[in-house]
Structure 1
Amino acid sequence: MSTFLQTLRTQRWDDHRYYHQSRINQTLHFISALSFLVAYALLFIDPALAAIVGWCFSMTTRQAGHFFFEPRGYDEVNDCTDAYKEAVKVGYNLQRKIVLLSVWVGLPVLLWLQPALFGLIQPATDLGGWVHDLGMAWLALGVAGLLFRVVQLWLRDGAIPALAWMTKILTDPVHDLILYHRAPLALWRGERLDPMHHVQPGSRH
């Protein structure tokens, strides 16, 4: 258990220091975390709606921070290149995210052209039914995307890093609220980048 918890702490620390230096990105993660908690609650009430909230609001705000606002040049804080950070990212790096988000965008088109999903489901008879089916398809995509990466990490690194990453992803909304609740105020004060005074530069990569 101690190894698992240490691995989880390391993954969270590396995720923060490498990929969340922009105050805009941190603020968007704070907003995303709030909406993800709403989505988590909706899972027990309306899973399809939970997936729609999770993908259309929580994920878009979260990923916009990474794609558009996070610095991509040489990382002076951690003394490493952007290419290194992308290569060592435990979860979904930008390239993997593009693939995942492409599937997300493509699912509505597929469901519109194939309402029965090639006979896998009962086709919807109205727009409300189609939206519900889309939500369930997006929910399945989220679960599949999570499990797919867990299996990849398990085969590559072993069970503990894989399960630690899964735990990290599932608990990120709570952790992000704690970590980034001051980011909106810092951004309001004009601080575009977190100075990361708490991060000690590592070895050169």
Structure 2
Amino acid sequence: MSPLSDMLRNLRWDDYRYYHRSRINQMLHLISAFIFLGCYALLFKDPAVAGLVGWLAMLTRQTGHFFFEPSGYDNVNKVSNEYKEAVKVGYNQTRKIVLLIIWGLAPFALYVFPLFGMFDPPVGRLDFIRQVGTVWLVIGIGGGLFRMIQLFVTRDGQTGLVWVFKVLTDPLHNVALYYKSPLALLRGELIDTSIADAGWGGDEAETAQRLT
């Protein structure tokens, strides 16, 4: 297996075992994945609507992280939540909060400064909503590029590029990984107990004390 494939596999494994133990979170990611796939389909046809749909998907999955994912000590992986947050390659909770604040303030900023240097004055409510969608799309793409550049500086170019590829393909991977989560929830399984026996990240991924 090539170094890039190995890095991608380990990133996905760490993402799964550290940050997606809750079956509710997994189900919300499954829903979010289908919404994101719809966003991808809309991206080149109607970017403004794609921006609105994309952030609906983002809020769906972040609801799972903030409200349903266990935040205490992880007895399966033998690490604390603080460790997970410190080593996360992508957006940890702190970075997500900053990004969500920017997202939430964008419509108000657009209302106060309606042109933003990019738009004609909105002719109605629907026109304003479409402008918000465009701004949200720019924020989403900008957030990804910003983190990629950060990884270029703090890690290396390979890590940044592999992380971007992982993020872009997460919807497809989430569908393949979490499609059984709704059935597990119906059985009353709130935590994915199969993580302890999965181990598809390879031998190195079994060692918790490494940067992910």
Instruction: Provide TM-score, normalisation by structure 2.
Output: 0.92
RMSD: 1.5
Q: Distance in 2 between matches of 1:192 and 1:202?
A: 25
Matched, 1:64 2:63: yes
Q: Which runs of 5+ in 2 are unaligned?
A: 200-205
Cα deviation, residue 127, structure 1: 1.4
Matches within 5 A, 1:117-136: 117=116, 119-136=117-134
What amino acid sits opposite 2:71 in the alignment?
Answer: R
Is the contact between residue 33 and residue 176 of structure 1 (CA under 8 Å) also seen in structure 2? yes
Q: Corresponding residue for 2:78? A: 79
Number of equivalenced pairs: 203
Tell me which residue corresponds to 2:182: 184
Secondary structure of the residue aligned to 2:73 is coil
Runs of 4+ that moved beyond 6 A: none
Mean alpha-carbon deviation: is it higher for 195-204 or for 69-78? Answer: 195-204
* 1:125 partner amino acid: V
Specify the alignment match of 2:135 in structure 1: 137
Task: Look up the equivalent residue of 1:102 and give its one-letter code.
Answer: I
TM-score between both structures, scaled by the size of structure 1: 0.95
* SS of structure 2 residue aligned to 1:198: helix
Amino acid at match of 2:177: L
Q: Distance in 1 between matches of 2:137 and 2:157?
A: 24
Deviation, 1:15, is: 0.4
1:147 deviates by: 0.1
Name the counterpart of 1:104.
103
* Deviating more after overlay: 126-135 vs 20-29: 126-135
Structure 2 equivalent of residue 115 of structure 1 = 114
CA separation in 2, counterparts of 1:100 and 1:204?
Answer: 28
Once the two structures are superposed, what CA deviation does each residue of 1:40-93 show, in whole Å capped at 9, x if it has no partner?
A: 1011211110110110x2111100000000000000010010000000000000
Structure 1 residue ranges without an equivalent (≥5):
none
1:15 is matched with 15
